A and B are shown apart, each in its own frame.
With several copies, the nearest count.
Chain A
Amino acid sequence: MPSTITLPQNPPPLKAESKNLDFYYGDFKALKGINMPVYENKVTALIGPSGCGKSTFLRCFNRMHDLYPGHRYDGSIHLYPDEVDVLHKSVDPIEVRMRISMVFQKPNPFPKSIFENVAYGLKVRGERNRSVLEDKVEAALKGAALWNEVKDRLDDLAVNMSGGQQQRLCIARALATDPEIILFDEPTSALDPIATGSIEELVGEIKQKVTVLIVTHNMQQAARVSDYTAYMYLGELMEFGETNDIFMKPKRKETEDYITGRFG
């Protein structure tokens, strides 16, 4: 079944684009021919019922699946402006991950200090200069709206913070390396409403600087934070369009059923 893709009238510059993307967990085909644009400095939400392949799709962008044997990509995801295909086998997944950060469902700070958590991406990139590190950590923590809360205890263990703070820390960690895209996989599903609110706000802010791709199972959240929405079902992209359109006048019956809660 072909996807219903409604491109915006004046499309913003493309940041990435998946082309005929199939994905296999061993013999199981979890993604089926996904074609989808990702626009620069916009938030794109992936929605769909549990098991439809949202996370699978998201994790293709930073080649997270490479960590597990038997996981296989087919097709391509092009990154703009240089148009490199991140799934191409000559491309080092580590390089891809250096350009595309990720924030996970459950906050997963390293059991290290707050400072070291944020600085980690920089260290991996070879940055050793302490003052550069300090500046970038501060900027990232400010960007993640966490600086005021933690500036006096940068050496405390990150795992002793609250869930919401931990998730913001993970966002700071992802921001610190100036990525081109940040992937969010249900970043608020382990958080309470207040923490959720602050993360949503944050996503709205960081899109000034970086392109965001976010998986969520919460329709309201998708509606609140995203500019574009993709509805997936059974490994296929059913519908893609501007968020307002998708939620107000979905083109497909399936999308409408899902959005109105009649199903799922």
Chain B
Amino acid sequence: MNAKKTLAIRTVIRRARRYDTLVALLGLLALSIGIFTLAALFIDMAITGIPRLNSEFFLNFPSRRPAEAGILSSWVGSILVMMVTAFVAVPLGIAGAIYLEEYARKNWVTDVIEINITNLAGVPSIIYGLLALGLFVYTFKLGQSILTAGLTLALLILPIVITATREALRSIPQHIREAAYACGASQWQVVQHHLLKYSTPGILTGVIIGMSRAIGETAPIITIGALTFIAFLPPAPGQLNVETGQAAGLFDWLWSPFTVMPIQIFNWTSRPDPRFHENAAAAAFVLVLMTLSMNAIAIWLRYRLRKNIKW
């Protein structure tokens, strides 16, 4: 190869490599925009909110006096709503996914379900709020209760759980199924003894991500009309009412009015007194910490736990 040609080629390569550098830089820049935003948001909340974080903040009800206001009713509400959500979405999601992945034959019914789940994943959360308002609140008369909110969010995260479960099931190699069948297992035994066990990390990841999404949802909860001052906890099962002497039923709390963290934050930020904004920042800090750690756990699960199941 002659020197002139070599030189020409080197020039071409050098020019082409410039784009490599450029894209790498752009990529890093874009990434840092995202990550800096996250950091800025977090630090901003931390600076404003952390001074308010003490045990009273977690144990007090909301109050018109900013210094006394706390998030007791809202974090308890969030947890109760999440319980309902998990209780509904997890079994439904897993069962649905098992059906689609292991049982469904290729026909129009499964096609419909299939397309439908993809579509649902793209439906805005506020639409779920409208569904809940029209159906749960007014048609089924469940009221603006923990049950309504939990069901709404369960429907909202159902596609997430289903998709995650299906992916987890899909990643189990066929030879494991064949081995189990060859031992004489029935289809359900294969599911119960093997598939469910081995897909647990994947399912768990999906559930956690879904729950972290649900816990931060505001719009559907507002839509069902839960923007309310709540300075009490839902009745614990068996809790005695001082005045009437009646014990609360096991599921009374399901019908109780409630508030959740994002609503409390929204409420505080919309108050005139700037000291409430500190409360809002503190509550937001707690909420973000909750969702971020849930996400972090999910990501950790995905990257670590999956490695432990070898085929």
Q: Which residues of A contact B (CB under 8 A)?
A: 62, 64, 67, 69, 82, 92, 94-95, 97-99, 101-102, 104, 106, 108-112, 120-121, 123-126, 159-160, 170, 173-174, 177, 180
Contact = CB atoms under 8 A, between A and B. Distances in A.
B21 to A, nearest CB: 14
Contacts, number: 89
Nearest to B173: A108
B12 A120 contact: no
Contacts of A104: 175, 178-179, 182
B304 to A, nearest CB: 15
Given A92-B13, A124-B16, A126-B12, A67 B181 contact: yes
Interface string B174-215: 011111111111100100011001100000000000000000
Which 8 pairs between the two chains have the least Cβ-Cβ distance?
A98-B184, A126-B12, A102-B182, A121-B183, A97-B184, A159-B310, A108-B175, A108-B179
B181 A111 contact: no
A170 B180 CA distance: 11
B141 interface: no
A37 B111 CA distance: 45
Contacts of B182: 62, 64, 97, 101-102, 104, 174
Contacts of B9: 95, 98, 125
15 contacts: A69-B106, A92-B13, A97-B183, A101-B182, A104-B179, A110-B194, A112-B197, A120-B193, A121-B184, A124-B189, A124-B193, A126-B15, A159-B310, A173-B179, A177-B184
B271 interface: no
Nearest to A157: B310
A99 B1 contact: yes
Interface residues of B, number: 34
A116 to B, nearest CB: 9
Contacts of B176: 108, 110-111
Interface of B: 1, 6, 8-13, 15-17, 105-106, 173, 175-186, 189, 193-194, 197-198, 309-311
Contact of A95 (B10, B15, B175): B10
Given A125-B12, A125-B184, 18 more contacts: A64-B178, A69-B105, A92-B13, A97-B183, A98-B9, A104-B175, A108-B173, A108-B175, A108-B179, A111-B310, A112-B197, A121-B183, A121-B184, A123-B193, A124-B183, A124-B193, A126-B8, A126-B12
B181 A97 contact: yes
Contacts of A174: 182
Contacts of A170: 179
Contacts of B16: 94, 124
A94 to B, nearest CB: 5
Contacts of A126: 8, 11-12, 15
Given A104-B175, A111-B198, A125-B9, A120 B180 contact: yes
Contact of B185 (A92, A101, A111, A124): A124
A98 B189 CA distance: 14
A49 B205 CA distance: 44
A4 to B, nearest CB: 32
Nearest to A160: B310
A159 B175 CA distance: 14
Interface centre among A82, A98, A104 (most CB of B within 10 A): A98
B181 A95 contact: no
A180 B178 contact: no
Nearest to A180: B1
B223 to A, nearest CB: 44
A42 B272 CA distance: 86
A97 B179 CA distance: 11
Contacts of B11: 126
A162 B90 CA distance: 37
Nearest to A81: B1
Contacts of A64: 178, 181-182
Contacts of A95: 6, 9-10, 13, 184
Contacts of A94: 13, 16-17, 184-186
Contact of A106 (B10, B17, B175): B175
Nearest to B6: A95
Interface centre among B10, B13, B183 (most CB of A within 10 A): B183
B11 to A, nearest CB: 8
Contacts of A108: 173, 175-176, 178-179, 311
Given A69-B105, A125-B9, A126-B15, A110 B179 contact: yes
A173 B178 CA distance: 13
B311 A120 contact: no
B10 to A, nearest CB: 7
Contacts of B106: 69
Interface centre among A108, A109, A123, A126 (most CB of B within 10 A): A108
B75 to A, nearest CB: 38
Contact of A177 (B183, B189, B309, B310): B183
A69 B6 CA distance: 28
Contacts of A111: 176, 197-198, 309-311
A17 B179 CA distance: 24
